[in-house]
Structure 1
Amino acid sequence: MHIYPFPPRLAQSPYLDALYAQLPVDVYVDRRSPRRSFWRMLLSRGQRLLHLHFFDAVVQHPNRIVCWMRSTGWVLLLMLVRFCGVRIVWTVHNLQPHECFHPDIATRTVGRVIRQCHALTVHHHCTKQRIQKEYHGVPSIHVIPHGHADAPFGPMPTRAAARASLGLDPDVPVFLYMGMIRRYKGLELLIEAMPLLPQTMLIIAGHPADKQYLSEIHQRTARRINISLHPRYMNDNEAACYLAACDAMILPYTQITTSGMLVAAMAAGIVCVVPNLPPLIEQVRDGENGFVYLHGNAPSLIAAMERVSATPRRDLIGHHARTSLAAHTWPHVAGLFHALFVTVLRERT
């Protein structure tokens, strides 16, 4: 069995490394660049499977004509791959690009890509239902949860040690946003809430994907004394320190298909506050293993943050967050993928 992931690597996510490391040793995963692996995938014999993850960078372009040409070329390429006997499985991390230039083209492209696939995998049941409702000619869809490591960020320091390292007051409630700084993350709503929570601290930490958006965030936070902005990539040790120091992680997404950061934070036992978007509330149960607020509603977000501060045993909620994902370890998730790959490769086209 030869697996060809696309893209073969992800610079800002451990997902591919963690998944493919757990597949059986007799599975060959070709993670060379597509320019080096493409012709081997097309022309070799035996069991070959193209495993799609993200293709936004291939089809997205500000110019509408260029975007249409790229999207059409991508679908034609998948038709060629399928014609050559390669099986195609798409893990739908994002149903549409987060910063989408032309939504109508993106929607049509997704539908055409789906029709070239032999199977789809999604992380949530609501995503499966949405695809079945919005698209035609859909192949079998398999719900395979997002995996996690037992200690996603390595050893966690104590709260006191983490706060001392970061120079934070040991008694002030600290909320954290950590992850890529991008428009769909909804940071504006979180920043808007902070003046009404003057006795708390917000830390925004993560790599900025868009310099213009980062500039806007700088302007919004410039005069906010209870917001600290750290716009850079965090290694695991730094991430563990920030997570250990916070009372809760806030993930104020405007739209989302799945959140790897939510999975990692919950697996680390961190209390998370999320909007009531369908993929998120499949994982977070309000007051049990996290907190939920009304999507796009600042008063509701503020109320949820106040509930976090007023909850004396947040450690129990963090424990419930960790145990709710106990079955979603990478060995288990990789086993589900391997079983699916075997099934897809055995089926006749």
Structure 2
Amino acid sequence: MSSIHALANSNSDALTRSAAPLHVFVWPIDPQNPYTVSLYAEMGRDVRVAEFSVLNLRHRHDIWHVHWPEALLNIRNPTLASAKLTAFLAMIDWVSLRGGKIVWTVHNLKAHDELHPRLEVMFYRRFIRRVDGVISLSETALKMALEKFGQLRILPTAIIRHGHYRNQYAQCPPDARSSLGIDSDTRVILFFGEIRGYKNVDVLVRAFRGVQNERAHLLIAGRPKHDALGAAIAKEGARDSRVRLELAYIDPALVGKYFGAADLVVLPYRHILNSGAALLALSFNRPVLVPDLGAMSELTVDFGDDWIRTFSGEIDAAKLESALEWAGRRRPLECPMPQEYLWETIRSQTLSFYRQVMSTR
């Protein structure tokens, strides 16, 4: 990432300031997460980006762009989680005292693991009042954020979509199924990604066992967050020979192979706000079954019912069978990617929002 240089002290001339490069501090940039890599990779001369580090706090920043602050609430030790959250808020105060603005992209409205509910309430109450601008990935998520955190209503907000994953991974190889030992005439349902409790993968496996189609095949590819969760899924999967479990980290070079083998991607989540996993499936031109929760209805509007199908309640065999039939219908070979999901659009919108936030007092 590019280094940070001190900006001139004077910021009284708004026009000059709007033309000057913005110095952006980002927490976090994960090299394993194509979302943040793609967002900041080519912002051009208008932005100087620095990845979060304590050393970089020595420099002055115009914007601190925060993603996934709730990740600190997934630390299992409550004392350690509390200490890290306190330090995080103190660093935000330091950036703000030096004139920086805090922009929060709302990926989630709560911590996935829900380990520390009281600490979570206290953290969000303190964090929200430090935020200067909010980016939401969907209209639904913005509405839910404003309802949950009323203080955000007075702030600048923007709806900027989650970008696609095309060109981030090798494309689907033609021998994807044979390389996985799956017959070509099998109907494959795929769950892909890190396995956590709220994603309901054990329920998916149990539901699949009720699918009557003997040519149906369930492929689970991803590393469980906890050993006990992996053991529960393995126990369910062992009861049906049609279930294939790859309970391990999947090398990015192999991602296309798993999507290439799939007829249908299923996200059986108990709760969901936005979904990078759904965008990943669409980027590989695979239809997706998602719960009718959060912003999933917006995906249906944006991509059409050829590519997105929703279900209500808990996933079950009937819903899987119906979705498999739907996935087998003729559709374009390539999923159309709307303009607002293209990274050049997203970068431009993000930069414009930075400028908007910087213009507020």
Q: Give the TM interval when normalised to the shorter protein.
A: 0.7 to 0.9
The answer to whether the 8 A contact 1:150-1:329 is kept is: no
TM-score normalised by structure 1 residue count: 0.87
Residue type of the partner of 1:306? E
Give the structure 1 partner of residue 291 of structure 2.
275
The answer to whether the 8 A contact 2:25-2:50 is kept is: yes
Residue type of the partner of 1:16? T
- SS of 1:303's equivalent? helix
Query: What displacement does 1:272 show?
Result: 0.5
Question: Within the alignment, does 1:22 sit opposite 2:51 as a pair?
Answer: no
Give the structure 1 partner of residue 54 of structure 2.
35
Question: Within the alignment, does 1:170 sit opposite 2:181 as a pair?
Answer: no
Question: Within the alignment, does 1:182 sit opposite 2:196 as a pair?
Answer: yes
Question: Within the alignment, does 1:211 sit opposite 2:232 as a pair?
Answer: no
Query: What displacement does 1:324 show?
Result: 5.2
Give the structure 2 partner of residue 289 of structure 1.
307
Give the structure 2 partner of residue 305 of structure 1.
320
The answer to whether the 8 A contact 1:20-1:29 is kept is: yes
Q: Distance in 2 between matches of 1:326 and 1:232?
A: 34
Q: Distance in 1 between matches of 2:80 and 2:248?
A: 32
- Aligned counterpart in structure 2 of residue 336 of structure 1, from 337, 343, 349: 349
Query: What displacement does 1:232 show?
Result: 2.0
Query: % of aligned pairs identical?
Result: 25
1:166-202 CA-to-partner distances (Å, cap 9, x unmatched) read 1111112110000111111111221111121142110
1:246-275 CA-to-partner distances (Å, cap 9, x unmatched) read 110011111122211111211221111111
- SS of 1:96's equivalent? coil
Residue type of the partner of 1:309? L
The answer to whether the 8 A contact 1:88-1:119 is kept is: yes
Question: Within the alignment, does 1:114 sit opposite 2:128 as a pair?
Answer: yes
The answer to whether the 8 A contact 2:31-2:37 is kept is: no
The answer to whether the 8 A contact 1:119-1:140 is kept is: yes
Q: Distance in 1 between matches of 2:217 and 2:74?
A: 37
Give the structure 2 partner of residue 55 of structure 1.
69
1:8-44 CA-to-partner distances (Å, cap 9, x unmatched) read x22542111110012123411112x51221222xxx3
Of residues 78-87 and 269-278 in structure 1, the stretch that sits farther from structure 2 once superposed is 78-87
Q: Distance in 2 between matches of 1:331 and 1:140?
A: 22
RMSD: 2.3
Give the structure 2 partner of residue 3 of structure 1.
24
Give the gaps of 5 or more residues in structure 2.
1-21
Give the gaps of 5 or more residues in structure 1.
none
Matches within 5 A, 1:247-286: 247-284=263-300
Residue type of the partner of 1:303? A
The answer to whether the 8 A contact 1:284-1:291 is kept is: yes
The answer to whether the 8 A contact 1:99-1:184 is kept is: yes
Query: What displacement does 1:296 show?
Result: 1.9
1:310-333 CA-to-partner distances (Å, cap 9, x unmatched) read 2475451764xx225453111111
Query: What displacement does 1:63 show?
Result: 5.1
The answer to whether the 8 A contact 1:5-1:51 is kept is: yes
Q: Distance in 2 between matches of 1:92 and 1:312?
A: 31
TM-score normalised by structure 2 residue count: 0.85
Give the structure 1 partner of residue 9 of structure 2.
none
Q: Distance in 1 between matches of 2:350 and 2:46?
A: 14
Query: What displacement does 1:93 show?
Result: 1.1
Q: Distance in 1 between matches of 2:355 and 2:327?
A: 48
Q: Distance in 2 between matches of 1:157 and 1:146?
A: 25
Query: What displacement does 1:67 show?
Result: 4.3
Q: Distance in 2 between matches of 1:23 and 1:131?
A: 27
Of residues 224-233 and 324-333 in structure 1, the stretch that sits farther from structure 2 once superposed is 324-333
